[in-house]
Structure 1
Amino acid sequence: MTPNEKDYMDRYIYQVIRRLSKAQRDEVRMELEELISDMYTDKGSMEEALTELGDPAEFAKQYQDDQRYLIGPEYFDTYLWFVKVVIVCAAIPILLISLINAIGEMPAITAQNSASVIIRAIVDGLITGITDAILSCVSAFGAVTLTFAIMERKKVQFELKKEEKWSLESLSGEGKTPTSRSRWTPKFLEPVPDKKAIISRGDSVVGIIFIVIFSVLLIFAPHFFAAFFTEGETVMTVPIFNLEQWGIVLPVFILSLLIGLADEILRLIVGVYCRLVMISNIVCGVLQIVLSIIVLKVLPIWNPNFVLEIEQALGDHADSGARFLTYWNADMVSNGFLAFIVAITLFEIGVTIYKTLRYGVAVKSN
């Protein structure tokens, strides 16, 4: 078996097993390696052996049952893992926030009522937290399921369209109109993706976790983003955000984060740099920059009385570190955050474009 024939065999096996669940892949890989090797020995030609096996998309159906899935085997393992991550990231912060809020709102404690007051605060916090966590988890579960279901359907439509375009004539550049009846041959097999074309799962995980936790905090505890001061046993806070106008700011803020989350989900599912990932990253990046401009430069995101409230809270007993906050300039902070967001987004888009054009050119479909 020549290196070129071995490459064709690897391409075929990859196109089959990527459509199967992870639990099946190793076993099917070994089975196909043995089957194709035997057929190659009998026929003396790798092209004839693979042509007899036929389209790998059709061949993969032999290892799948005939049921139609909301989310098929190809995506189900990733979907299940992703649901767990999102639910944990949504539930734990909400529970902690509810407990902290309940403890912070406790009435005065005396020697006689300390135990009952603390227990009641914890119980109230848990009840509120569990209720909010359930609602949040149900919403997150529905959003994730809907996203994966849409991708499952779009993938099917895309592959059907791709099959209609497959033809030897189109590959050879003769310009003939391809038809869906064209006979499949190994020349249709795309190369196995280069290792450098593979998107880091860890990077996607970190991005997803950050977005989910940050969104939960913005929705349920925007007052946690504040300057904290202690005076004796009392903790005073001055919120950074304009909580009175938060109902106007929050939807745009969350929309920007959801766009980023959708891009991370797509990267996680596709797993390699390709044209689809590149286009998604460019579009989502541009939308996030536009929404960031709206949030930071148009909407009243910052507390207009931040400096005044800090000065009132500090009085004449502030140290140099606390005094530094009185030099707060909302426009300067907005410009700084916006410059950082634009720089990071453009850098990520640049990396995606480079890796797609350099390593992911042959990865044209999912």
Structure 2
Amino acid sequence: MTTLTDRYLAATLRSVPVARREGIDTELRASIEDMVEGRTAGGQDAGTAEREVLTELGDPAQLAARYADRRLQLIGPTYYLAWERLLKLLLSFVPATVGTLVGLVAAADGGTVGAGIGQGISAAIQVAVQIGFWVTLVFAILERTNTPLGLPGWSVDQLPEGPVDRQITLSDVTASIAFLALFAIYLPFQHYRSFVPADGDGNLPILDPALWSFWLPFLIAVLVATIGLEIAKYRAGRWTWPLVAVNALLDLAFAVPVVWLMSTDRLLNPDFVARFEWLGEGDNLKSITTVVVVGTALVTLWDIIESAVKTRRHSA
């Protein structure tokens, strides 16, 4: 009759290389017999002792993996940190960038704004899933083939100098991101629900619908990129000159089109202007244009100067 030990050994050995089975069989069988004898010498029943010993040894598949030096995890400790860092880096900007570009192309190619946003979100999700799958697959293969990555080893020289004196707080970044996100959402939202009634209880967009051919998708993309900048600022903990340069570029990318469109009477929806008679009286519309242009220029200039001053103070 086949004993529990024979069955346990058979289950273990079928998962190890053939060339090592005989040696492992001899070694493991001897170990089991020694442990069983130790228990029976203390007065325990042989059958009970055998069952308890095999239970302590655990799942035969796990024991076989240890004998064969085969990893049972998808990404082991050797490559885990490299996998995690690369995955976080790619997911931090690639899906959002692809989604924004797809949405802009869809909206500019004669599609509706809603369809463009939907396609952009769908593309971002698909890209994120693909990045997660392929990066994990590559590292799993590297793990199992013991392929060296050639990455520099860790040393104490990589330790930070001391606690980071944060110049940029989480509350400030959260408030900025919330404002930017609401602004970016409102641009397409006002096209469908601006809360300005038109004739026949319809919706009257505040901004000229003709701008959806390019400028409004462009401005939304700038706002999304600015959200990415806010995240980068928080991760850095303080302003740096590269961040100042990117901030100035994004500020100008938003402000210049707004100023130009407002100055040429192309920003506001003509039907919206006609809806309010007082806008057409005297220089009212011109005054509003001046306020928007000057206000946008001052806010942009202030933001650029403030970021540069903070960077200069910190680096001094």
Q: Highest relative contact order (Cα 8 Å, sep 6+), 1 or 2?
A: 1
> TM range, normalised to the smaller chain?
0.3 to 0.5
What TM-score, normalized by structure 1, do the two folds share? 0.42
What TM-score, normalized by structure 2, do the two folds share? 0.47
